[in-house]
Amino acid sequence: MATLQKRLAEIIPPLKDEIKGITKNHGDIKISEVSIAQAYGGMRGVKGMICDTSVVNPDAGLIVRGYPIMDLTEKLPEEIFYLLCTGELPDKAALKALQKEYSDRAKVGKYVWDVLEAMPKDSHPMCMLDTAVLVMERESEFRKEYDKGMRKEDYWKPMLEDSLNLLAKLPVIAAGIYRMRFNKGKRIGAKKDLDWGANYAHMLGIKDKTGNFAKLMQLYLTLHCDHEGGNVSAFSCHTVGSALSDAYYSVSAGLNGLAGPLHGLANQECLGWILETMKKFNGVPSEEDLYKFAWDTLNSGKVVPGYGHAVLRVTDPRFTAFLAFGKKYIPDDPVFQLVAKVFDVVPKVLAEQGKVKDPWPNVDAGSGALLYHYGMTEFPYYTVLFAVSRAMGMLSQLILNRAMGTAITRPKSVSTEWIKKQIPAS
Ligand code: HAX
């Protein structure tokens, strides 16, 4: 049977040989140049690392292993993880085997819950998730094997073990955090017959008579899976992992980055902005009022959350997918209607202001309104959902990097004094 473990064992050796050949025979070919503006500007656009799980094209958005994300919206997150790791969608047997792995590994130790219970009641849910991941580091198979003296070519195997363990437990922990942090009552156990996303929806305990919340969760977990290698969470995870820190340390580092308002936390900020607008205008404002309010936000020195992107230069297809979901299932919801209206107005305002390179909505612009509709109104929780999904991208990248023997990350920094010496005297 083509289990994920077996398939990786088959594809890794030829892939390693291919990369060895490329670097040996063509290693001197230049793929990027760096300007002073880029060095000061977050290295934007500098091509300096490899990520094979997905690419983000400025004019098309996320492509996962050759599939545009819009072609994957019906897939289960388990299928997506297999695809990220191997470049292939699993057949039925491989999917079932992976689902069994998740189900068998989903038990979370009591000590994890004890640590979470002991945290201050106002801890941010992302801090709680991150703490849970970090405290589980003692379970790392990678560290155990490394301490025993594992061979370099075997690094990916315990990294895969750690990844499966983490992915199995993350929805359980994340749902537990939701119920604990927002006083929802006892934790709800997983069901054996549900898939990974449906189980997460079930364990959250959101009432879902229509089954549409579970559908939204499947879409949510699929859309947020990965976004190539240079975004803050992926790059942080990559860098920490390159020191051979295990998956728990590395993913925890990535999650800390995801918790920033310019990255994953934008989904919480975004719904906050939408609700603030509704409150100010006592409902959905007119286009004129919205136009003025967006300008007020900019003039007060803030960003409009959910808009702009470091790489994209078109409407994020993941936003388009969420918008389509809203139009299909909740067209009359006023919060969703405002999200759709903001999409008509804010790009014009940002274009008029002329600073933003990408005036279009990103993934975070619309997801919150959908969650809010189904009763998940605690928006500080939203980034946790993002994190559970993005763990798939971070972990698949870690597995492949350990398989490829990727070197420790160590770009060269330069000082402003050095930069000044590069500027020709006028
Ligand atoms: N509202 C107001 N101003 C914005 C803006 C927005 N939505 N997006 C960018 N700008 C501003 C920048 O702050 C910058 O201003 P300064 O020159 O004064 O510093 C200027 O426009 C140029 O920025 P840029 O080159 O277009 O954008 P960056 O690559 O530097 O930053 C960001 C990309 C996503 C961080 C940015 O667009 C932003 O802050 N957006 C709002 C927050 C957000 O939605 N983040 C989520 C992004 C998707 C993601 O990672 N999700 O996890």
What per-residue confidence (pLDDT) applies to 13? 97
Same domain, 247 and 315: no
What per-residue confidence (pLDDT) applies to 423? 97
Give me the percent of the chain exceeding a pLDDT of 70: 100
What per-residue confidence (pLDDT) applies to 209? 94
The verdict on the CB of residue 145 being under 6 Å from ligand 1 is no
Same domain, 86 and 231: yes
Same domain, 90 and 148: yes
For the packed helices 382-404 and 156-181, what is the interaxial angle rounded to 10 degrees?
170
Residues 164-169 have a mean pLDDT of 98
256 domain residue, yes or no: yes
Q: How far is the CA of 310 from the centre of ligand 1 (A)?
A: 7
Phi/psi at 89 (5° precision): -80, 145
Same domain, 245 and 325: no
Same domain, 250 and 291: no
pLDDT tens for residues 283-308? 999 999 999 999 999 999 999 999 99
Same domain, 241 and 277: no
pLDDT tens for residues 326-360? 999 999 999 999 999 999 999 999 999 999 999 99
Same domain, 163 and 274: no
32 domain residue, yes or no: no
Residue 2 has pLDDT above 80, yes or no: no
What per-residue confidence (pLDDT) applies to 333? 96
318 domain residue, yes or no: yes
155 domain residue, yes or no: yes
- Domain boundary pick from 373, 394, 413: 373
40 domain residue, yes or no: no
Q: Which of 355, 364, 385, 389 to mutate to test the pocket of ligand 1 (most atoms within 8 A of CB)?
A: 355
Residues 142-160 have a mean pLDDT of 98
38 domain residue, yes or no: no
What per-residue confidence (pLDDT) applies to 299? 97
pLDDT tens for residues 183-237? 999 999 999 899 999 999 999 999 999 999 999 999 999 999 999 999 999 999 9
Same domain, 327 and 368: yes
208 in active site: no
Domain that holds residue 304: 266-373
Q: How far is the CA of 357 from the centre of ligand 1 (A)?
A: 8
Residue entry with tokens 């599939």:
67
Same domain, 149 and 168: yes
Mean pLDDT score across all residues of the chain: 97
Q: How many domains does the chain have?
A: 2
- Domain boundary pick from 356, 373, 390: 373
Write the CA distances from 50 to 120, 184, 228, 258, integer angstroms: 40, 43, 9, 20
CATH of residue 225's domain is 1.10.580.10
Residues 379-394 have a mean pLDDT of 97
The verdict on the CB of residue 306 being under 6 Å from ligand 1 is yes
What per-residue confidence (pLDDT) applies to 1? 59
Same domain, 369 and 326: yes
343 domain residue, yes or no: yes
